[in-house]
Amino acid sequence: MTWIYFLDLFGTSVFAISGVLMAIEKRFDLVGTLIIGFVTAVGGGTLRDLLIGRSPVGWLNDRNYILAIFIGYAIAYIFYKRVLRLKKGMFLFDTLGIGVFTIIGLKIAAEYNLRVETCIMMGVISACFGGVIRDVLTNEIPLIFRKEIYAAACFLGAVIYVIMQKFCPIENVNVMVSMAIVFIVRYLSFKNGWTLNLKKFDDVNGFGNGDK
């Protein structure tokens, strides 16, 4: 399936761009922004590979991923203001990216004969932990822990993919439908401000105490 490979490279570039943009905002230098772009793009897949024992970690052996990151890095710097203005486009690309990363991550884990629930987790980790590592390195509380539906969209897409595989023999259809699920759930939750916060805990002492 070449098309999913190309989507994966595309998602890698998009993730790199978003990482570099955030790092520029933090006034990191040329090296710092490159590292954050790298980590955002391949951090999730790297963690997955370490956990399942895929060695060496995937992107070390595939020059295209490194190239995709450098392209994203260059785009972020050269078209900085234009990219910033394209926030909506970036959001759509990013959302496409997490769908691809989820399904590819799940499929790679499946090659290692792990249980189905572990494969689903590895899909979610592939899609979400690049951003988590980026946030840790930039000294922020990871976004996905608090805002909107992000990991849950990946989780749902991964579950749908696993279920469809049992019933539908056309792999391309399974991949496309489950990626679409991730995209739609994430898009709708963002647009409608859906969250996974329980009201029950609204009066828990949070960061600011007074921000209730």
Nearer to a copy of itself, 14 or 42 (CB): 42
209 binds a copy of itself (CB under 8 A): no
20 binds a copy of itself (CB under 8 A): no
Handedness of CA 182, 23, 59, 141 (dihedral sign): negative
Q: Please give the Cα distance from 91 to 190 (Å, whole number).
A: 10
Which single residue is written with the structure tokens 């450098």? 70
In this chain, which of 92, 138, 165, 187 binds a copy of itself, going by CB under 8 A?
138
| HSE-CB for 17 with a 13 A CA cutoff | 27
Residue 171's nearest CA partner among 9, 3, 1, 10 is 1
| Residues 76, 24 contacting (CB under 8 angstroms) | yes
Which of the stretches 9-17, 26-34, 97-105, 181-189 binds a copy of itself when contact is defined by CB under 8 A? 26-34
100 binds a copy of itself (CB under 8 A): no
127 binds a copy of itself (CB under 8 A): no
In this chain, which of 4, 75, 118, 177 binds a copy of itself, going by CB under 8 A?
118
In this chain, which of 82, 88, 167, 198 binds a copy of itself, going by CB under 8 A?
198
Measured in degrees and rounded to the nearest 5, phi and psi for residue 61 equal -100, 0
169 binds a copy of itself (CB under 8 A): no
Contacts of 25 (CB under 8 A, 6+ apart): none
In this chain, which of 10, 91, 93, 112 binds a copy of itself, going by CB under 8 A?
112
| Residues 41, 128 contacting (CB under 8 angstroms) | no
Nearer to a copy of itself, 136 or 176 (CB): 136
| Residues 186, 149 contacting (CB under 8 angstroms) | yes
* Binding residues vs a copy of itself (CB under 8 A): 23-33, 35-36, 46, 50-53, 55-57, 60-61, 63, 66, 77, 80, 112, 114-115, 117-118, 132, 136-142, 144-147, 149-152, 195-198, 200-201, 204-207
